[in-house]
């Protein structure tokens, strides 16, 4: 099985006629993702990549039955695009853009409170269920269907984690890039909860990074669970001296006062298997399988 997206997910693309959207939607279509249309205000009635283009998300949903959106719109327009998706009551929105203003993200978080819509991102590579659906910019060729759930806050290290599952002779159930920014949609807890409920996910790989307290909060949640699947965790930035600020939004806000070791300690205390080197993940997965 999978979480959040599968081969039945009907996807629209907001900003579909843009250069990046065109490139990645074509790849997603080739992958077999059920992309059913796109939205570009002012271009309703046209077709692009063989897909109908609509002026609004509401119109696209009513016509196509879409329940998810992948958003390739510039950061300053993310808030208004997301508001459209929420008002149309889509199940899921994936926001690729980085540099979304903090003020806008605060308003987006407020929209999410009373909405059935889930947000992945911003500043994310997206989500992929191997062999079924690709929403975002993942290099689809490195993914293989399997039983390991991967969730990561570090975009590029997500790919490393996927390669580690392959080295262990495993594939992935679903891979989620939460997003590198301080304010994001779903977090580790959301992902862990869903992976725990997925009967075909047998273990989880969790990739953290400096900034914020996402990892510590997730560790506490995991520690308190009665029934749980094993998690192998890694936190990027362990070699960074205490107090040194990285470029991550979360680390800028926390002013470097939370070290990678603090996060690792919290995760280990919760019973998460923590590795010091991301290239050791495959060894721990092999141990679990033995």
Domains and CATH numbers, the chain: 11-120 (3.40.50.720), 144-289 (3.40.50.261)
Q: What residues contact residue 50 under an 8 Å CB cut-off, 6+ apart?
A: none
Give the angle subtended at the CA of 198 by the CAs of 274 and 149, to the nearest 5°.
Answer: 35
Give the pLDDT of residue 155: 85
Give bridge partners of residue 207 from the DSSP assignment.
Answer: 152, 234
Calculate mean pLDDT across residues 150-167.
Answer: 95
Q: Is residue 246 over pLDDT 70?
A: no
* Residues 241, 234: Cα–Cα separation, whole Å: 17
Q: Is residue 245 over pLDDT 70?
A: no
Which pLDDT tens digit goes with each residue over 29-54?
999 999 999 999 999 999 999 999 99
Which pLDDT tens digit goes with each residue over 177-201?
999 888 999 999 999 999 999 999 9
Q: Is residue 254 over pLDDT 80?
A: no
Contact between 188 and 267 under an 8 Å Cβ cutoff? The reply is no
* Residues 110, 104: Cα–Cα separation, whole Å: 10
Which residue, 130, 141, 134, 119, is CA-closest to 9?
A: 134
Assign 150 a pLDDT band (cuts: 50, 70, 90): very high
pLDDT > 90 fraction of the chain, expressed in percent and rounded: 87
What pTM did the predictor assign? Answer: 0.92
Give the pLDDT of residue 258: 72
* Residues 220, 127: Cα–Cα separation, whole Å: 25
Q: What residues contact residue 239 under an 8 Å CB cut-off, 6+ apart?
A: none
Mean pLDDT over the full length of the chain? 93
* Residues 131, 32: Cα–Cα separation, whole Å: 8
Q: Is residue 73 over pLDDT 50?
A: yes
């Amino acid at each position: 099985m999978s979480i959040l997206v599968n081969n039945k997910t009907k996807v629209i693309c907001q900003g579909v006629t843009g250069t990046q959207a065109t490139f990645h939607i074509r790849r997603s279509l080739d992958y077999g993702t059920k992309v059913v249309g796109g939205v570009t205000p002012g271009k309703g009635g046209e077709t692009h990549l063989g897909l109908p283009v609509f002026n609004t998300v509401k119109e696209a949903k009513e016509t196509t039955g879409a329940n998810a959106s992948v958003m390739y719109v510039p950061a300053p327009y993310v808030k208004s695009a997301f508001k459209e998706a929420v008002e149309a009551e889509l199940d899921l929105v994936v926001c690729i853009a980085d540099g979304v203003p903090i003020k806008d993200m605060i308003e987006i978080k407020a929209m999410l409170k009373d909405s059935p819509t889930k947000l992945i991102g911003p500043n994310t590579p997206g989500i992929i269920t191997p062999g079924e659906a690709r929403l975002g910019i993942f290099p689809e060729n490195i993914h293989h269907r399997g039983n390991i759930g991967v969730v990561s806050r570090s975009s590029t290290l997500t790919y490393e984690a996927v390669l580690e599952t392959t080295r262990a002779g495993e594939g992935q159930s679903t891979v989620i890039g939460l997003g590198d920014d301080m304010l994001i949609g779903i977090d580790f807890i959301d992902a862990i909860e869903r992976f725990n409920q997925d009967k075909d996910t047998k273990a989880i790989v969790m990739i953290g990074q400096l900034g914020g307290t996402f990892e510590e909060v997730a560790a506490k949640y995991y520690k308190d669970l009665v029934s749980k699947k094993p998690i192998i965790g890694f936190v990027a930035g362990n070699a960074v001296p205490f107090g040194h600020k990285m470029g991550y939004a979360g680390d800028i806000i926390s002013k470097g006062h939370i070290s990678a070791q603090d996060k690792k300690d919290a995760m280990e205390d919760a019973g998460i298997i923590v590795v010091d080197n991301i290239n050791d993940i495959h060894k721990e997965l092999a141990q679990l399988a033995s």
